[in-house]
Structure 1
Amino acid sequence: MCDLPSVLPDYNPPNPRLQALFETHNLSTAELLFLDAIDISRRCTTPHSVAPSLLEIKRYITHLSSALNGDIAHHSGPEISTQSSQYLTTGDETLDTLLNGGVRVGGITEFVGESGAGKTQFLLTLLLTCQLPSSQGGLGGRGAVYISTESPLSTPRLVQISRSLNSRLSPSPKVSTDKVLSITCNDLETQEHILKYQLPTAVARHNIGLIVLDSIAANFRAELDRPAQKRQRLEAESNSGPALLARRGGELVRVAQGLRELARRHNLAVVVANQVSDRFSMDDAQEEDPWSLDYQSRWFTGWEGRAGGKVPALGMVWANVLAARVVLRKADEDRGRRRRVGVVFAGWAEGGREMDLDIWEGGVRAVKEEKEDGVDGVPNIYG
């Protein structure tokens, strides 16, 4: 049943003919927002009619989404977009000190590291701490959206962390998994549809304070690692491999622009996980040349020329859209350490400092250093 007149009584459609077609085929507002343009076109196709173009449908959905978001913002009041800068706690006081208050609202913060370094544990903890009251470092009971590109949300682990938070901090009301919305997208096309259409609506409707994307690189990497025959065809259409990389860079920028606009408009935090690749140096002499990329990379990758060093995926294009980058890595077993966490760069925290990280039933927590290793137990790894 077409329920758009009841959802938005004053809505003025950009294409009345298309609106009449949707009403004829009983497409609901939810279906228009959540179905792909191809599926909508198929629903509206009959033997006696010509299917609407995909461009027409996409323009209509974009206009509808904007109108719906504007209507929700109008009825929910301006307090969401006019709040001052906030910091979202990690649930651990020492880690908050490392981040100079926590994860800042209003921008994109990246947690990058190899598999098993603890990225997802960090993200699961943040999904729940955002529900804490402001006095305890949360976002006043606001919910969270978890978008996974690899595996579904681990609800048993989320429940375990929530029980620990409620026991340790006794928040009122208690944190709950009910305020965590989750969705899995396994390809780049689905991811684009979710971020462009579904996510803005969910943010406005459910008073979301945190968006988590785990991980940003998976689908972009899969797009470039498709079977050789298909990749060669795409490269032939784009004239060259570099053109394909340039197009991917443009898509990354568009994703970042959409996420930053949501963060700014709704005063929420955006946190993404990122994967890493092995780091290769072309020339050892470049390691000591201040003008070389190898020398300068320590200030934006988080791996300062270590043996077996890594490079965050998606390159400089992605690094330039981030407000902060936090690196997690498996530490030196010879020193009895399992994981390390450090700030690579952030507009509100000092970069180059790191500490030991422990994963426990309550999420993540810091293992304090001896004070002689650095200022307040947080050593500086760049000098």
Structure 2
Amino acid sequence: MAPLKSLERDYPIIDSEFQHFCAFHGIFTVEDFLIHDLNALVMFVWKQPNSERLKQGIDQICFLLESMHRPWLNGVALLKDAQQNKQNKHVFSIGNEGIDSFLHDGLREGRVIELVGPSSSGKTQVCLRAAASVAKLCEGGVVFLDTGNSFSVHRIACFVSQNSNSTSIEGSHETFEKVMSNISCCRVYDIFGLLDVLHQLECKLKCEMQAGDHLVRLLIIDSLSSLITPILGGGGPNGHALMISAGFLLKKLAHEYSLCVLVTNHMVGGEGGLPKPALGESWKGVPHVRLLLSRDHRASNGYSFSMLKY
């Protein structure tokens, strides 16, 4: 979310005096308000000589937070909205018939799909295959956020070659060039970098929508859990709030801009030594679909999969 300073032009009440007061309490962005005890902050405000103006500033921030959420809808409205969305959404092949069938023909716009699995289970391979498949069909179609140098041009080339209908070297090369031109890869190293990139992407998508274009179709984050798990340690509220903020933003992008979102999540040891997804209970409600991958050398594609949530 935006730094408080960037809001001063549109909201004069959020002036330098208000920003200084917030900074004293460790609040520098709108996001920081999500993890702060607002009741305690308001109680402190009333002890200040300019309490009324400070309280107006807090009310303005709260209004901005509330405006980010969609209004309440009754059950009939929700059902109608879901039916309309299902009819209007495109479905893109992930490049693997088995996974496509599990996902009812592939990646559907408006959904956040999570690939869960241990190291070397094939999560990155699926992401690269999906990127190649969608980029071949859509102009400017894929944004790939790479958190650990997992993006491989060589693997993309292999997938393009496997699925190419061209019998000539020149034709295959042209297809590969088209696919690569339709993939934007960005390296992200922490949760703050991720939130910054996602906000930039939202601005891009908004401009595309206003211009009548729809170029970005698929957003891939490999691996999302590697950005979030480092901030969850210690049991403090900050990491949890940042995780929820990232999840909310991904679902917002998927829903409002008809985007397919594909993220990966690694496994950690759980009770009794049994593996479990690294992102915990609070996260599992974010993705619409959770697919568990595991390495299976007996399978023709090298891995097997099962549905955890649909």
In structure 2, which of residues 91, 99, 102 is the aligned counterpart of residue 98 of structure 1? 102
Q: Any idea what SS the aligned residue of 1:167 has?
A: coil
Q: Distance in 2 between matches of 1:190 and 1:94?
A: 34
Answer yes or no: is the 8 Å Cα contact 1:130–1:141 preserved in 2: no
Which of the two has higher C-alpha Rg? 1
Q: Any idea what SS the aligned residue of 1:326 has?
A: strand
Query: In the alignment, residue 201 of structure 2 is paired with which amino acid?
Result: L
User: 2:15 corresponds to which residue?
Assistant: none
User: 2:155 corresponds to which residue?
Assistant: 157
Answer yes or no: is the 8 Å Cα contact 1:88–1:104 preserved in 2: yes
Q: Any idea what SS the aligned residue of 1:319 has?
A: coil
State the 1:192 CA deviation.
2.0
* Deviation string, structure 1 residues 164-215 (Cα, Å, up to 9, x no partner): 22238999x94511110111111222222222x2221344557100000111
- Residues 269-308 of structure 1 aligned to structure 2 (within 5 Å): 269-281=260-272
Alignment partner of 1:223 is 2:188: no
Answer yes or no: is the 8 Å Cα contact 1:152–1:183 preserved in 2: no
Structure possessing the higher relative contact order (Cα contacts under 8 Å, 6 or more residues apart): 2
State the 1:326 CA deviation.
0.5
Alignment partner of 1:177 is 2:177: no
State the 1:311 CA deviation.
0.2
Answer yes or no: is the 8 Å Cα contact 2:231–2:239 preserved in 1: no
User: 1:143 corresponds to which residue?
Assistant: 141
Alignment coverage as a number of residue pairs:
227
In structure 2, which of residues 164, 184, 189 is the aligned counterpart of residue 186 of structure 1? 189
Structure 1: gaps spanning 5 or more residues: 1-12, 17-36, 38-54, 67-80, 134-139, 226-240, 282-307, 347-383
Answer yes or no: is the 8 Å Cα contact 2:140–2:183 preserved in 1: no
User: 1:73 corresponds to which residue?
Assistant: none
User: 1:127 corresponds to which residue?
Assistant: 131
Query: In the alignment, residue 278 of structure 1 is paired with which amino acid?
Result: G
User: 1:199 corresponds to which residue?
Assistant: 201
Q: Distance in 1 between matches of 2:145 and 2:299?
A: 34
- TM (norm. structure 1) is 0.51
User: 1:266 corresponds to which residue?
Assistant: 257
Q: Distance in 2 between matches of 1:269 and 1:210?
A: 5
Query: In the alignment, residue 147 of structure 1 is paired with which amino acid?
Result: L
State the 1:152 CA deviation.
5.2
User: 2:280 corresponds to which residue?
Assistant: 315
The structure-2 alpha-carbon separation of the partners of 1:119 and 1:194, relative to structure 1 and needing over 3 Å to count, comes to same
State the 1:116 CA deviation.
0.7
Q: Any idea what SS the aligned residue of 1:211 has?
A: strand
Alignment partner of 1:209 is 2:223: no
Answer yes or no: is the 8 Å Cα contact 2:139–2:215 preserved in 1: no
In structure 1, which of residues 342, 353, 356 is the aligned counterpart of residue 306 of structure 2? 342
User: 1:293 corresponds to which residue?
Assistant: none
Q: Any idea what SS the aligned residue of 1:277 has?
A: strand
Q: Distance in 2 between matches of 1:186 and 1:329?
A: 26
Answer yes or no: is the 8 Å Cα contact 1:202–1:208 preserved in 2: no
The structure-2 alpha-carbon separation of the partners of 1:166 and 1:141, relative to structure 1 and needing over 3 Å to count, comes to farther
User: 2:295 corresponds to which residue?
Assistant: 330
User: 2:37 corresponds to which residue?
Assistant: none
Query: In the alignment, residue 182 of structure 2 is paired with which amino acid?
Result: K
Structure 2: gaps spanning 5 or more residues: 1-8, 13-28, 30-56, 69-84, 209-213
Q: Any idea what SS the aligned residue of 1:316 has?
A: coil
Moved over 4 A (4+): 168-171, 335-338
The structure-2 alpha-carbon separation of the partners of 1:188 and 1:96, relative to structure 1 and needing over 3 Å to count, comes to closer
* Deviation string, structure 1 residues 69-117 (Cα, Å, up to 9, x no partner): xxxxxxxxxxxx9971222212233332222211222021000111111
* Deviation string, structure 1 residues 109-148 (Cα, Å, up to 9, x no partner): 0001111110011011111222355xxxxxx545110111
State the 1:323 CA deviation.
0.1
Q: Distance in 2 between matches of 1:104 and 1:336?
A: 26
The structure-2 alpha-carbon separation of the partners of 1:336 and 1:261, relative to structure 1 and needing over 3 Å to count, comes to closer
- TM (norm. structure 2) is 0.63
Q: Distance in 1 between matches of 2:155 and 2:260?
A: 22
Q: Any idea what SS the aligned residue of 2:142 has?
A: strand
State the 1:224 CA deviation.
4.4
Q: Distance in 2 between matches of 1:95 and 1:109?
A: 12
